[in-house]
Amino acid sequence: MKNYIKADPWNIVEEGFDPALNEVSESIFSIGNGKMGQRANFEEKYSGHTLRGSYVAGVYYPDKTRVGWWKNGYPEYFAKILNSTNWIGIGIQIDGEELDLATCEVESFSRVLNMKEGYLERKFVAKLASGKRVEVKSTRITSLVDSHNGAIRYAIKALNFAGKIRFEPHLDLNVFNQDSNYDEQFWVEVARSATDGTAIITGETKKTAFRLATAFRYQLDIDGQVATAAAETLSHDMYIGYASTAALAEGQTATLSKFVANISSLDVAPDALEAASRSSVQAAQSKGFDTLLAEQAAAWAAKWEGCDVSIEGDVAAQQAIRFNIFQMNQTYTGEDERLNIGPKGFTGEKYGGVTYWDTEAYGLPFYLKTAEPHIARQLLVYRYRHLDNAIKNAQKLGFKDGAALYPMVTINGEECHNEWEITFEEIHRNGAMTYAIYNYINHTGDRDYLAEFGLEVLIGVSRFWRQRVQWSDRRKGYVMLGVTGPNEYENNVNNNWYTNLLAQWTLQYTAESLAFVKASNPQRYAEITAKVAFNAKEDELAAWADIAAKIVLPVDEETGVFIQHDGFMDKDLTPMSQIPAGEYPINQHWSWDRILRSCYIKQADVLQGVYMFEDRFDKETIQRNFDFYEPLTVHESSLSPCIHSILASSIGYEERAYAFYLRTARLDLDDYNNDTEDGLHITSMAGTWMSVVEGFGGVRVRDGKLSMKPWLPKQWQSYSFRIFFRGAHLRVEVKPGEIVVRNESDVATELTIFGQTTPLAAHAQLRHARG
């Protein structure tokens, strides 16, 4: 655990430069806008340890799979979002001496991520080997207003000398991914040019042939006056730039403003990319840096209006929750149905930047409640567009008749994960896809989604579950063999309770959805059933009902708990508290064989199912399973603490709920797992928000009705959060003695607080005593 980030309600603050922490800070201070993202690398040269990262959403490379023993059904590649053109570069020479914080004496240093207004600022004073001292201030944005644009203002002041400062703003395509399986460079240069003050470089990815045109323009000022220094063109393989020199007197400041456009062939035809990037960067420069910064602040203000969580009495907790919300909104904006959420977002290379089931289980609840419905809807449409590939994924494993198996890891619908116990066995992800459809409709009331997109997905997944189970004469029920649940510390198990529960529920929900679409939209029902040949399989509904009624969901007679999987109760059930402290995390200290034979749980498994279907169980059942499984859970997935926090809140374990919240809230800011240098845990950040709103706030949507049972952690004086619900925008404030709900919209609604249902008119507020 590291504790060097200074507490501040709206800013992430680093004071002092420690090279050993630089890659951690590069992750923490990353910025993005849903289309592109940038690690907090330095603009000027840095020869110390750094992980360069400039990412463009949707642009990927199929890196050939590297495994020791190939098995039939393995994906041929692992898709990776690529490190792309380094657009932030500004080389600095001071009377011929390179500015490099790895070789300078750094007298002072600060880095600030302003979350309220959406920009990164860095300040430092450095002393070069010559004794010359400079003061530098850089400000950087990736624009929310025009997601193709980024901009930098880089100011350098001569503190104790008069001399020449040479600026070299440039674009560098000679970039690599550190996680390349075969040390390949994934880009080839297509073109580069520097004309009329605009430098452009265009690259193309190998194999996938995505093109990216990056353009920049710049302006150089001295003490606020435009400098007229001649520009030298710098051009060589994979590199284009300009050089300008400013002659400064002691105490003068030279400021370079760099305007950038990043446009890929996902958005513009390849032959029009250069013209589009030129036009875009000219428009950005014509606005000027101050206008871009003001637009950014206004755009972020609008974002915060819908999603802010305010905490009184704990600055560290306030900073943490806003950091998590900020990163979620930098990662995904919902403006493009082709894009999704990578576990690391735009902050690092780990997990390839591609999509996991984390999106549906953790990301979707955040966007459902903090943004207009179309934002979350786009996440579902993304999966619908991949349905054909999900069917092909299932066919590769021997399934037929339109059965669909959604991938564990993907960017285009094809499975690209290459560990057998996950690729072939962790099929519970299919249930996350169908539950997301239900979750979206339950929250928004948009049942038209079923006829438009959802029903086809439900049918494909249900067909998969039908073929994946088998009848057991011995158990007089349907069993599902050879699976891995969310707890990846158990592989190739039989009858994982969570997976079987999801299969049962999906079959039931699909049947209900078929009946609804048939009654409400007969024409569309006929189109869908003809398309998927449903009418030709008249036994499907009966088979699904039989499986749902008879699937094995074992309960331990002695303890009354749901059994995680066959054989689990035969393990040595010694609580994890008995593991010596020096052996944590066990995935770094124990053999895999020892982990698999142990009872220890990586993340919520049975409890994930209890969380998702909470309304099926009474409080005693939830408590019984929590008390049994939580002491065996080592929480070695960043996704685990939030589910435990929410369930602990629901059964009144307030101290434990808060402890789990703390574990997830500052996971990256304090680098709990010593892995933040690889990138941030973006989907876990959604879990932090869930811990506050669904946990402490007790917010639920049951049968389309909004309810809440808020409680106040004793460490806080009060807190508030915002919710979008069926057109109403609500602000909920939880105080020691009361709950205040304000409807800040034109849409009337009703909500249930501690079991009491109350109407809430547009622009009205209600107060409710908190016991």
Per-residue pLDDT reduced to its tens digit, 710-735: 999 999 999 999 999 999 999 999 99
Whether residue 536 is predicted with pLDDT greater than 60 in this model: the reply is: no
Handedness of CA 39, 40, 43, 46 (dihedral sign): negative
474 C-beta neighbours (distance < 10 Å), count: 6
CA–CA distance, 722 with 321 (Å, rounded to integer): 13
Whether residue 140 is predicted with pLDDT greater than 60 in this model: the reply is: yes
Tell me the longest C-alpha to C-alpha distance in the chain: 90
Single out the residue of 671, 639, 674, 642 nearest to residue 659, CA to CA. Answer: 642
Averaged over 35-50, what is the pLDDT? 98
pLDDT range class, residue 421, cuts 50, 70, 90: confident
Q: What is the reported pLDDT for 420?
A: 72
Sheet strand arrangement including 700-702: 700-702, 705-708, 749-753, 756-760
Whether residue 488 is predicted with pLDDT greater than 80 in this model: the reply is: yes
Specify the amino acid at residue 382.
Y
Helix, strand, or coil (residue 79): strand
Half-sphere exposure of 96 (CA within 13 A, CB side): 1
Whether residue 510 is predicted with pLDDT greater than 70 in this model: the reply is: yes
Is the Cβ–Cβ distance between 669 and 12 less than 8 Å? yes
Averaged over 297-313, what is the pLDDT? 97
Averaged over 252-279, what is the pLDDT? 98
Q: What is the reported pLDDT for 422?
A: 81
Whether residue 31 is predicted with pLDDT greater than 60 in this model: the reply is: yes
Is the Cβ–Cβ distance between 629 and 622 less than 8 Å? no
Q: What is the reported pLDDT for 414?
A: 94
Question: Residue 725 corresponds to which tokens in the numbers above?
Answer: 């619900």
Averaged over 254-272, what is the pLDDT? 98
Handedness of CA 684, 685, 691, 693 (dihedral sign): negative
Whether residue 2 is predicted with pLDDT greater than 90 in this model: the reply is: no
Averaged over 11-19, what is the pLDDT? 98
Single out the residue of 740, 743, 689 nearest to residue 718, CA to CA. Answer: 740
pLDDT range class, residue 771, cuts 50, 70, 90: low
Residues assigned a catalytic role: 488
pLDDT range class, residue 203, cuts 50, 70, 90: very high
Average pLDDT, the chain: 96
Whether residue 418 is predicted with pLDDT greater than 90 in this model: the reply is: no
CA–CA distance, 107 with 102 (Å, rounded to integer): 13
pLDDT range class, residue 535, cuts 50, 70, 90: confident
Whether residue 280 is predicted with pLDDT greater than 70 in this model: the reply is: yes
Question: Residue 152 corresponds to which tokens in the numbers above?
Answer: 């930098």
Q: What is the reported pLDDT for 227?
A: 92
Averaged over 701-710, what is the pLDDT? 94
pLDDT tens string 150-170: 999 999 999 999 999 999 999
